[in-house]
Amino acid sequence: MATRDYDVIIIGAGPGGYVAAIRAAQLGLRTAVVEQAHLGGICLNWGCIPTKALLRSAEVAHTVGNAATFGVVVDPPRLDVEAMVARSRAVSRELNAGVGFLLKKNGVDVIWGRARLAGAGAIEVTAPQASGRPDPEAPKDALGPGRYAGKHIVIATGARPRTLPGLEPDGDRIWTYFEAMLPPSLPRSLLVVGSGAIGIEFASFYRALGCEVTVVELLPQILPAEDGEIAALARKAFEKAGICILTNAKVVSVARGKDHIAATVEHAGKREELRAERLISAVGVVGNIDGLGLEALGVKVDKGIVAADALGRTSVAGIYAIGDVAGAPMLAHKAEHEGVICIEAIKGLDVQGLYKLRVPGCTYSRPQIASVGLTEERAKAGGRKIRVGRFPFRANGKALALGEPEGIVKTLFDAESGELIGAHMLGAEVTELIQGFVIAMQLEATEEDLMRTVFPHPTLSEMMGESVLAAYGQALHIPPPGQARR
């Protein structure tokens, strides 16, 4: 096949890759995107979207199971896990088709296969490798294996589950998040190793469906990236829901039985054996850098990710990296923005690099967790003088009306300038509320700006305003600090 020439070739059609491709096409660049398995990447097909569909099913089950609280009497709900999985897969298929439609309408060529850098400004594409999971077929008009030339090549290959020795997934007793989304049946007991967002979301999902769930975390705090106060409150909520949590705990070994796994866990100075029907390994992810030909071209790799600057530029001119493969935070929305920034820089537009402290993080457990900016611990470690505001869900009318009284909104301000430097939330729908604080931080809002903002009533968002007031001793719907509520 003759070499085809492009202005930009993007390797990987996940959130970062396909968004970068669309933006490149919008700017008049002849663009192609290479994909070997999923338009939309892991996020759309096996991560963000299908897991949220499953968590929605768990939320509905919880609501129906507690319907009598709202004056609605129903028969005990019956769980149909097969139907839950089928719905989550249908949602992913619909969005997958949507990505293909957008690429086609924007004039982006899709090359179906596995790409490898083949010298300056060139890639070699071979047939895709089977993933062992149901993969969508290539678009009918996709190009195939061959050699392609691109003046600019953007690596957006994403990440995959990290594997620890002794916890190698087997698709039967030990799962990664792939298998956890396609359970053949509902396990009666589950051991989750790792308490980051992925581990906690699956722990929350399976517990909501009645499974006995134990979470094992190596560090002293679950949700290690979150504010310590929020993580502690989240732990109490999870334990109240029946999840057993072990921190400062290490899985020493795992034995696979015919109908169970037996994990030896070192905890509190002793070793104990934990048995469960299934184990989910959720110990993080690693960048997909293997087989790309990076070493041959001298592209710098640092601790398993491609080293890139704030505009996505690597150590080799004409080669860029965005998204998970370029490092933390490994989030779809961060990848999308990096893709746009990278392409606009390639085009020569006046752009600024992504300020990662303003990238929000969300965990879709029950209760939800959302945050942006500095944690209280990081702010203090950096020597900043801060003001902290807190407002509880229990003091909010909408939260009580929804039957969601457990939660908190926490805000951090620079004590000298009044700048909002962090926001941390726990409770119902906080993943939808956090964007208000993200916008405020992007606009470098101060406490005065936020105090003058009118929040609608009755809403959960009122708590955001009250938290700001609380940081300055002006909260209206909770007692002053140190005074009991009458």
Give residue 377's region: left, alpha or beta (phi > 0; psi -120 to 50): alpha
CA distance 335 to 312: 11
Tokens describing residue 308: 């890139």
Smallest CA-to-CA distance from 109 within 205, 28, 193, 31 is with 31
Contacts of 381 (CB under 8 A, 6+ apart): none
Tens digits of pLDDT across the chain (486 residues): 445 799 999 999 999 999 999 999 999 999 999 999 889 988 888 888 999 999 999 999 999 988 999 999 988 888 999 999 999 999 998 998 899 999 999 999 999 999 999 988 999 999 987 666 665 677 888 999 999 999 999 999 999 989 888 899 998 999 998 899 989 889 999 999 999 999 999 999 999 999 999 999 999 999 999 999 999 999 999 999 999 999 999 999 999 988 999 999 999 889 999 999 999 999 989 999 999 999 999 999 998 999 999 999 999 999 999 999 999 999 999 999 999 999 999 999 999 999 999 999 999 999 999 999 999 999 999 999 999 999 999 999 999 999 999 999 999 999 999 999 999 999 999 999 999 999 999 999 999 999 999 999 999 999 999 999 999 999 999 998 765 554
Q: How far is CA 127 from the centre of its chain?
A: 30
Helices vs strands, H then E, count in the chain: 14, 24
CA distances from 19 to 10, 93, 106, 343 (A): 10, 18, 11, 10
CA distance 314 to 409: 39
Place of tokens 């089928």: 86
pLDDT of residue 486: 47
CA distances from 126 to 42, 112, 292 (A): 20, 9, 12
Q: Are strands 261-267 and 270-276 parallel, antiparallel or unpaired?
A: antiparallel
pLDDT of residue 2: 45
- Angle (nearest 5°) at CA 233 between 232 and 237: 120
Q: Where in the chain is the domain with CATH 3.50.50.60?
A: 4-160+286-356, 174-283
- Has this prediction a pTM greater than 0.75? yes
Topology classification of domain 174-283: FAD/NAD(P)-binding domain (3.50.50)
367-471 CATH: 3.30.390.30
What dihedral angle (degrees, nearest 10) is formed by the CA atoms of 87, 89, 95, 99? -170
CB 321 within 8 A of CB 312: yes
4-160+286-356 CATH: 3.50.50.60
424 is annotated as an active-site residue? no
User: Among the options 333, 424, 457, 477, which is catalytic?
Assistant: 457
